[in-house]
Every structure is written in C-alpha cells, then in structure tokens.
Amino acid sequence: MHLVDTVEVEPEHVDRYLELVSTLGMAVMTGAGASFVSCATTPGDVGERQHIQVVWAFDDFVHWNEIRKNMVLDPRYHEYGGTAASLRVGGTRRFFVPVTLSPSL
C-alpha cells in the first residue's frame, strides 16, 4: 500500500520543503515504520506554483495505524508537521492499493 502526499508550494519554498522531507520527514516516517518510495516535483521553470509528490509504503491499514501512533508519540513529528504546513499552500493525501494488470493482446 502507498501513501501519496502531493503538496503545492510557492517556487521559492521548494528547496526548503525538499530539505525538510529528506531530513526530519525521512527520520520521522521511517522511524515510525514507513518505507520511503519516491519524491518528485513538477518543473520549476514554468512560472507557477510547484507540486511535490512524496510516496511512502507500508503493508496495510493495520500497519498504517501503527505508523500513525508512532508518529504522534514522536516529538519530531509535530515539528515536521508544523514546518511543512507553513511551507505549503495546498495539497492532497491519498492511499493507493496496487492492482495487477495483464496486457491484452
């Protein structure tokens, strides 16, 4: 299962947000039991707000609930969440479940 956070930030906040995810975010999330999958951004040279997508993996919702509990008990989580909130102007959080597809011939 994947948790996909897509945040919208002003272009001048992209580097700071990425730094936050790669340091405090990574420590909090992996310490709580999630696995880092990927991070990507929309292009920065088009003159509009950018989106940053961060993907985390875990087994199922039972595992996610354990991760959530661990995060809330970690004092770094509150710093991470507060700082991230101050940098973003919007975004979404979605859970994705893998599906198996077979190509049709």
What pLDDT, in 10s, does the model give residues 66-87?
999 999 999 999 999 999 999 9
d(CA 3, CA 1): 7
What pLDDT, in 10s, does the model give residues 91-104?
999 999 999 998 87
Q: What is the predicted pLDDT for the residue at 87?
A: 97
What pLDDT, in 10s, does the model give residues 26-59?
999 999 999 999 999 999 888 899 999 999 999 9
Q: What is the predicted pLDDT for the residue at 45?
A: 85
Opening angle at CA 34, ends 64 and 55, nearest 5: 95
- CATH of the structural domain 2-96, one choice from 1.20.1560.10, 2.60.40.60, 3.30.70.100, 3.40.50.2300: 3.30.70.100
CB 67 within 8 A of CB 34: yes
Domain positions in the chain are 2-96
Count the alpha carbons within 13 Å of 71 in the hemisphere toward its beta carbon.
20
Q: What is the predicted pLDDT for the residue at 93?
A: 97
